[in-house]
Each structure stands twice: as structure tokens, then as C-alpha cells.
């Protein structure tokens, strides 16, 4: 019985082991059959493409290209964009794609979150930051094992505004020596951005990659390079579009050479368009007509239909869920966009019938005018400012005939629908606008600042100017002002601005522009007085506080300037230049320890440059930290590998001359001179030794070293230094006199 029982038990255990083995391999079998099905799909496609698409076995690479300021009517079949047209032949072109706003930062925040601007809370350029609680496309793909890299064309999308979150690499470095025009962001050309993206991608060896490339070139002023400059001499905006398309071709060629083009999901779009004079708007930002909110959109995705041109209305908020679906990533709650995958596959049904909400708070926050809000569906658009406008988009695509008075019922219905989405005046969803905290506001109020926050004005207020009534005059004047400034006729430019301000004296944008013009004339007392008025009107504007602080600094009012820069860094803790100026004023007001903390903040926020090193050395010298002072000076050469553009240019010169080393020696000499003035001769001697190690053939450095050693009573070393100076320059009379005096003292 025992033996039979044992045999039966063994058989049972064998069956149990067989069952467990089957259960353990079941997932593998399912994956195998799924792979077979995918391979069959790839083989089915082989007859069309001529190759088996092995990339179907893994999530696709995702390339997102956003062209700043690109009108939809310059793409697809116009002849300006052959590379984009070829991309559209591989996928789908959406001819009615709608941006949420005609502004770069909030529109990109919508792309990266799948939410409209009132929901994610970024409502304007430069004065908002995306909340860290937001779930971005880069974060979601990164959690799905994607490598993530972003390559930015203009500082309006600087990492300090919050779009960096989720990116392993966010390249937003701009040449600190570049000084763009008064109304232009610091930026770089597409031919600089595209190679950065391709070099980074070439280093990514495993896993799918999400790459975002932002190209700023079509933004005003329109200055295409050759050959587009000559080809489009009369239409330079078109030249910028053609140049950008050429660079997109280079980007796609680079993907092909890396073996990543086939099977990649490529999304190409724009953040907003450009008015080009329509509705009396030269560029963009104020109005929400289709010239600035209808944008190009092309999506080429694995397994998608080819050569489609669709007229269904879609939105930029649809990109996040569509990309996530292609990557096999769950779409999180709170996303307002629709998944466009059915349309990409050629299915006839539209994934969404919801109208698009659009807005621009820029008129209110920058000019004190009425903000604009709108609702757009496939047939009609409502625009609400100081009054309502209604346009039949099918009959009147250029929005020239306002039908609000003849269609009151439709206006009411669309207005109710818009307010049900986002009630007028409700800014409870804007937690990340830049604001001074209560303590700072109280401190500034004690200094006499009474706030008049234009953001608090009710939308569509009857007291606020209608931008449609005043923009044309402003645009005409600003065009003349730009021309005068280009010709360096600043006094005449000032006169034009003052004439406009007589009609609109509380216009923050005009006051700020006047301040910039006065600064060009070095009239800093007037700049400070103007900025004192401006910070009352727009206390959230970091750039106003920066201009105010710089003017006060030039006027030798360091304590007042320190307050201005304190407000700037409190408003925008990611503003590296604000931290740098704040640190400089802390040194000047005898707070070197605090200045080191500010300099650390500037460096952490991405500031690289010789000025930071000099300030650090000065602060360390003030508190007598000898070794750290020497390290600050020596790190100038060490930071050549930091990759900043200004250092890149210097790197190419190092092999052929000693220019950079001389500048390092100059830094050491400046700190040494500071130490000498404070009678810290030991520290001065150490700094001069650093300078001498960098530049061995400068007699003055050895002479100054000798003087420092003489003050320290180190006479033999001083004699050696003075002899080194004379060996380099036998005619150095002062070195001769000091050496003779020292030798005479030694002889006695």
C-alpha cells in the first residue's frame, strides 16, 4: 500500500509539476503568438514598403517638432515646405488643427500636458511656470522606459518655466553674449538646434527615445539666411518657413542615417501662427483669429494610413493622448485632449466633437486692455472681448464679416457653452503665475509701493480698452520705433513712444519699452523712475524688476537695487541672471556669505560664465577663504568642458593663442588687487602666483607678486619674483628700484 501510494503520489506530483510548467510558460506563449501576429502584420506591409518593419516589435521612437510662429496656410502643397509635404505623404495632415492660445509658453504647456490653458494654469509668456504637479508627456514616456531629450530654439521655453520636467536632457543654453532686440527673445537658429538633437540621439544605445525639437526661426524679425534670403527677398517670412523646412529635412535625414526613421512616430506642428497684418496685427499674441490659432499638424505613425488630408477639427491638446496611445502608455486622468489614433488609421469617425476653447490674456496682462476668449467648432467661431464677435468659418474663413448682431441666439448658445467650460474671470486654475509672497509685498509696500494688479481686472470689463480698437495705432507706432532704433535714432524713437503714452499712459508694455529705449541712452535715473511706476502696475513681471535693479545699480543705489533683485529672484527662483545680479549687490552691501548662497543658486540654475567666477572669488576673498578663492579662479579653465556657447568659442582659440589664459590671469589679478586694497597680502600673493602659473611671460604679474611678498616680509621670495619680472622685461624701472631696495636691505 505504501509503495502504491507512493507511486500514485508521484504521478499526482508529476501532473502538478506539468500544470505549473504550463502556467509558467503561458505568458511566454501568449507573447510568442502576439509576436507572430505582429510579424505577420510587418510581412503584410513588406509588399508595400519593400522591407520588414522590425520596429513594430517595440514601442516607436517619438519625434516631436514644434515650429514657432508657423501659419497653417504655408504648408502642404504650397511649394514652401517640400520636406514637410513628403512627411505628410507618409502619414496624415490635419488641415484644421487649433492651438489653445497664440502664445509660445502656454501653447507648449498644452502640448506637453494635454490640457487647455486654464487647466494647466500657464496663461502667458514669461510670467507663469508649469506646476510640478503637472504630468507631462516626457514624464509619462520616461516612466515607460523612453529616453527623453529636448532641444530648444528660444529662451521663452527656458527650463525655468517648468517644461523641463520629465526630460533627461533639456538643452536650452543660449549665448550670454548675444543681445537680441528689445522685443526678441534670445534664440538660436535651426541649424544649431538640429545637430544637437542628432548628436544626443546617436549616443542613445537602448530603448525607444522621445525627442522634442523646437525651431524658433519663423518668429519676427524675419531674417532668413542664404539662399532663402535672396529667394524670398520680398516675403522674408516665407523665407523663414522655407529655411525651417530645409532644416527639418536635415533632421529627418539624420534620423534615417541613424536607422531610426522607419517605424518612428513623427509629429510636426506649431505653437501658433502669425497675423502678418491681418486684422491690423503685425505678428501674434493679441488676437485669436485663425491666422494665429490655426496651425500646421502632420503625424506619421507606424501602421497609420498614408497621404491623408483631413478637415476634422483637432486640437494641440490631442497630441499627448495620441502619442501615449502609440507608445502603449495609459492616458492619465485629467487629460482634456482626444486620442486621434482612429483618424490616423483611416477610420472615418471623428474621435471628438467638442469645440476648441481658445484665449489670450496677453492684451490684459501686457497692455491693460480687455482679454480675449473664444470658442471654435467646425463651422463657427465666437470671439469675446469688450464685445462679442461671431464668424461663419465655412463661408468666411478669413473672419472678415462679424455676424454677432444678426445671430444673437447662436452667440448666446456658444457663450453659455464657453462659460460652462471655463467661467469668465475664474483664475482659480492658475496656481503657477509668478507672484510676490505676502512678506515681500508687505516689505515693498512699506517702501511705498501700492499694487495695481492688472490681472485682477474682470475679463471683458467695460473699463478695459478693446484691443481691436487700439492695436492698429500701436502696431504702426512700434514699427516706426523699431526702424528708428535699428538706425540708432533713439531720441526720435523716444518721442514716438511718449506720443503714444499720452493717449494710453498706464500701458505697461509701452512703459517697459520706453524704459529700454532710455536705458540705451544711459539715462538710468529716468529708467528707475519709470520702473518704479511699472512695478506697481505689473508686480509679477520679473523683467521689469530686473530692469529696475540694473538702473538702480547704475545710479549707485546698491541697497535699493538689492531689493529689486530680491523681488526678481523671489518671483522666479530659476532666473540665473537675477541671482547673479543679486549676488553682486550682496557683495557690494558687505554681505559676502549671503552672496555665496546666491551664486550657488545662479550656478544651479544654469549660469556659466566668467562673471560668476569673478564674483565668487571676490566674495571668498572678502571672508578670507584662501584656498576656495584659488579654486574659483582655476575653475575657469576647468569649466571649458561645461559646454556653454561662450566657452565653446574660446576652446577653439586656446590651441593657437593664450587669450583665454590671459583672461583667467586677469581674473586672478583683479581679485589680488581687491585683496591688496584690504591689506590681505597673503591672499594677494597667492592669487598672483595663480596668475603667474597661467601666464608665465607677464612681467607685471611677477612684479606684483614681489610687492605682495615684500609686504609679508618674505624678502628672499620677493627678490626672486622681482628678478623674474626683470628677466622678462629688463626695462621695467619700478621693478629695478624695488629690487635694489630689497638687495640693499638684505646687505644691511
Residue-by-residue DSSP string for 621-649: HHTT-HHHHHHHHHHHHHGGGG--HHHHH
- Among 197, 216, 177, residue whose Cα is nearest residue 67: 216
Interhelix angle for 699-711 vs 659-677, to 10°? 20
* Sign of the torsion formed by the C-alpha atoms of 471, 477, 483 and 485: negative
* Plot region of 166 (φ>0 → left; ψ -120 to 50 → alpha; else → beta): left
- Residue pair 688/675 in contact (Cβ under 8 Å)? The answer is no
Whole-number pLDDT of residue 542: 85
Distance CA 218, CA 69 (A): 6
Determine phi and psi for 691, rounding to 5 degrees: -65, -40
Cα Rg of the chain, angstroms: 32
Residue 369 bridge partners (DSSP): 465
Reported as type and span, the H/E element at residue 683 is: helix 681-694
Distance CA 290, CA 392 (A): 12
pLDDT of residue 512: 86
Whether 113 and 130 have beta carbons less than 8 Å apart is answered as: yes
646-657 confidence digits (pLDDT tens): 434 433 433 233
Sign of CA dihedral 210, 93, 286, 282: positive
> Residue 561: exposed, middle, or buried by beta-carbon count in 10 A (0-12, 13-18, 19+)?
buried
Distance, first Cα to last Cα, the chain = 120
Give start and end residues of each alpha helix (H) in 157-315.
190-202, 228-231, 236-257, 290-293
Of 188, 120, 204, 135, which is closest to residue 166 (Cα–Cα)? 135
Q: How far apart are CA 261 and CA 35, in angstroms?
A: 22
Among 303, 205, 297, smallest CA distance to 260 is for 205
Q: What is the pLDDT of residue 438?
A: 59
CA angle 235, 187, 182 (to 5 degrees): 80
Cβ atoms of 455 and 422 closer than 8 Å: no
| C-alpha 215, offset from chain centre | 11
Beta strands at 169-171 and 147-151: parallel, antiparallel or unpaired: parallel
Phi-psi region of 299 (alpha: psi -120 to 50; beta: other; left: phi over 0): beta
Round to whole Å and give the CA distance between 204 and 457: 50
CA distance linking residue 425 with residue 35, whole number of Å: 53
Distance between CA atoms of residues 55 and 371, nearest Å: 47
How many beta carbons lie within 10 A of that of residue 713, not counting itself? 9
Cα separation, 324 vs 481, whole angstroms? 47
Give me the residues paired with residue 576 across strands.
Answer: none
| Span 168-222, pLDDT tens digits | 999 988 754 444 344 456 789 999 999 999 999 999 988 899 999 999 999 998 9
C-alpha to C-alpha distance for 100 and 294, rounded to whole angstroms: 9
Are residues 208 and 219 in contact, defined by beta-carbon separation less than 8 angstroms? no
| pTM of the complete model | 0.73
Q: Which residues contact 47 (CB under 8 A, 6 or more apart)?
A: none
Per-residue pLDDT at 475: 83
* 299 φ/ψ angles, rounded to the nearest 5 degrees: -130, 120
The answer to whether 164 touches 109, Cβ cutoff 8 Å, is no
What is the distance between the alpha carbons of residues 728 and 736, in angstroms, rounded to a whole number? 12
Strand order in the sheet with 372-376: 356-360, 372-376, 380-384, 388-392
Which residues, listed in sequence order, are joined to residue 308 by a DSSP beta bridge?
92
> Taking a C-beta distance cutoff of 8 angstroms, is the pair 710, 738 a contact?
yes
Angle between helices 681-694 and 626-638 (to 10 degrees): 20
* Entry field: residues in the chain: 748
Determine the Cα–Cα distance for residues 60 and 387; give it in Å rounded to an integer: 47
Q: How far apart are CA 144 and CA 390, in angstroms?
A: 44
Q: Left if phi > 0, otherwise alpha if psi is -120 to 50, otherwise beta: which for 522?
A: left
Ranges of residues in the chain with a pLDDT under 50 are 1-56, 176-183, 444, 447-462, 636-637, 639-663
Checking DSSP bridges between strand 372-376 and strand 380-384, what pairing results, if any?
A: antiparallel
CB 317 within 8 A of CB 337: yes
Under 8 Å CB-to-CB from 658, ≥6 apart: which residues? 695
Q: How far apart are CA 569 and CA 542, in angstroms?
A: 8
How many other CB atoms sit within 10 Å of the CB of residue 294?
24
Residue 36 backbone phi and psi in degrees, to 5: -60, -40
CB 269 within 8 A of CB 81: no
**209, containing H or E segment:** strand 209-215
Question: Please, are residues 55 and 303 in contact by the beta-carbon 8 Å criterion?
Answer: no
Amino acid at each position: 500500500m505504501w509503495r502504491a501510494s507512493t507511486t500514485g503520489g508521484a504521478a499526482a506530483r508529476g501532473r502538478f509539476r506539468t500544470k505549473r510548467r504550463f502556467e509558467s510558460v503561458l505568458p511566454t506563449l501568449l507573447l510568442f503568438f502576439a509576436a507572430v501576429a505582429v510579424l505577420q502584420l510587418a510581412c503584410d506591409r513588406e509588399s508595400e514598403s519593400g522591407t520588414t518593419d522590425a520596429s513594430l516589435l517595440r514601442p516607436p521612437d517619438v519625434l516631436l517638432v514644434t515650429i514657432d510662429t508657423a501659419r497653417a496656410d504655408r504648408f502642404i502643397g504650397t511649394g514652401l515646405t517640400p520636406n514637410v509635404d513628403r512627411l505628410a505623404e507618409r502619414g496624415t495632415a490635419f488641415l484644421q488643427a487649433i492651438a489653445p492660445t497664440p502664445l509660445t509658453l502656454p501653447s507648449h504647456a498644452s502640448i506637453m500636458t494635454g490640457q487647455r490653458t486654464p487647466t494647466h494654469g500657464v496663461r502667458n509668456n514669461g510670467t507663469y511656470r508649469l506646476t510640478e504637479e503637472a504630468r507631462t508627456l516626457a514624464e509619462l514616456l520616461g516612466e515607460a522606459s523612453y529616453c527623453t531629450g529636448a532641444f530648444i530654439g528660444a529662451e521663452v521655453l527656458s527650463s525655468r518655466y517648468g517644461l523641463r520636467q520629465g526630460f533627461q536632457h533639456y538643452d536650452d543654453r543660449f549665448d550670454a553674449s548675444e543681445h537680441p532686440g528689445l522685443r526678441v527673445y534670445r534664440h538660436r537658429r535651426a541649424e544649431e538646434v538640429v545637430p544637437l538633437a542628432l548628436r544626443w540621439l546617436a549616443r542613445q544605445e537602448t530603448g525607444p527615445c522621445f525627442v522634442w525639437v523646437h525651431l524658433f526661426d519663423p518668429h519676427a524679425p524675419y531674417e532668413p539666411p542664404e539662399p532663402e534670403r535672396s529667394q524670398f527677398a520680398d516675403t522674408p517670412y516665407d523665407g523663414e518657413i522655407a529655411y525651417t523646412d530645409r532644416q527639418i529635412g536635415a533632421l529627418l535625414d539624420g534620423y534615417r542615417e541613424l536607422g531610426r526613421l522607419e517605424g518612428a512616430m513623427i509629429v510636426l506642428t506649431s505653437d501658433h501662427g502669425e497675423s502678418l497684418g491681418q486684422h491690423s496685427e503685425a505678428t501674434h499674441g493679441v488676437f485669436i483669429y485663425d491666422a494665429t490659432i490655426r496651425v500646421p499638424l502632420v503625424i506619421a505613425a507606424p501602421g497609420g494610413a498614408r497621404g491623408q488630408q483631413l478637415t476634422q477639427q483637432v486640437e494641440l491638446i490631442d497630441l499627448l493622448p495620441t502619442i501615449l496611445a502609440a507608445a502603449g502608455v495609459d492616458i492619465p486622468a485629467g487629460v482634456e485632449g482626444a486620442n486621434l489614433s482612429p483618424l490616423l488609421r483611416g477610420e472615418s469617425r471623428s474621435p471628438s466633437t467638442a469645440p476648441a476653447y481658445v484665449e489670450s490674456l496677453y492684451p490684459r496682462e501686457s497692455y491693460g486692455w480687455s482679454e480675449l476668449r473664444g470658442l471654435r467648432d467646425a463651422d463657427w467661431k465666437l470671439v469675446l472681448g469688450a464685445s462679442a464677435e461671431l464668424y461663419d468659418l465655412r463661408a468666411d474663413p478669413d473672419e472678415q464679416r462679424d455676424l454677432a448682431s444678426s445671430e444673437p441666439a447662436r452667440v448666446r448658445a456658444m457663450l453659455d457653452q464657453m462659460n460652462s467650460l471655463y467661467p469668465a474671470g475664474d483664475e482659480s486654475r492658475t496656481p503657477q503665475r509668478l507672484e510676490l509672497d505676502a512678506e515681500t509685498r508687505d516689505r515693498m509696500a512699506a517702501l511705498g509701493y501700492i499694487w495695481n494688479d492688472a490681472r485682477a481686472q474682470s475679463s471683458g470689463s467695460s473699463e478695459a480698452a478693446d484691443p481691436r480698437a487700439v492695436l492698429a495705432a500701436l502696431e504702426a507706432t512700434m514699427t516706426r520705433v523699431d526702424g528708428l532704433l535699428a538706425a540708432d535714432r533713439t531720441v526720435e524713437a523716444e518721442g514716438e513712444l511718449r506720443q503714444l503714452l499720452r493717449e494710453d499712459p498706464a500701458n505697461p508694455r509701452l512703459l517697459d519699452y520706453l524704459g529700454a529705449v532710455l536705458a540705451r541712452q544711459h539715462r538710468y535715473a529716468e529708467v528707475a523712475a519709470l520702473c518704479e511706476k511699472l512695478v506697481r502696475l505689473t508686480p509679477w513681471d520679473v523683467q521689469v524688476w530686473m530692469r529696475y535693479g540694473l538702473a538702480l545699480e547704475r545710479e549707485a543705489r546698491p541697497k535699493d537695487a538689492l531689493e529689486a533683485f530680491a523681488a526678481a529672484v523671489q518671483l522666479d527662483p530659476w532666473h540665473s541672471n537675477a541671482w547673479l545680479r543679486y549676488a553682486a549687490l550682496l557683495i557690494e552691501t558687505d554681505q559676502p556669505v549671503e552672496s555665496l548662497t546666491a551664486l550657488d543658486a545662479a550656478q544651479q540654475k544654469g549660469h556659466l560664465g566668467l562673471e560668476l567666477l569673478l564674483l565668487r572669488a571676490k566674495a571668498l576673498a572678502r571672508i578670507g577663504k584662501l584656498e576656495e578663492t584659488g579654486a574659483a579662479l582655476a575653475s575657469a579653465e576647468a569649466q571649458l568642458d561645461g559646454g556653454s556657447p561662450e566657452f565653446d568659442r574660446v576652446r577653439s582659440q586656446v590651441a593657437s593663442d593664450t587669450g583665454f589664459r590671459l583672461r583667467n590671469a586677469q581674473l586672478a589679478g583683479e581679485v589680488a588687487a581687491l585683496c591688496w586694497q584690504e591689506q590681505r597680502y597673503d591672499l594677494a600673493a597667492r592669487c598672483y602666483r595663480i596668475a603667474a602659473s597661467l601666464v608665465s611671460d607677464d612681467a607685471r604679474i611677477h612684479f606684483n607678486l614681489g610687492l605682495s611678498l615684500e609686504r609679508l616680509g618674505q624678502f628672499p621670495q620677493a627678490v626672486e619674483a622681482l628678478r623674474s619680472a626683470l628677466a622678462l622685461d629688463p626695462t621695467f624701472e619700478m621693478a629695478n628700484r624695488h629690487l635694489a631696495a630689497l638687495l640693499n636691505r638684505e646687505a644691511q
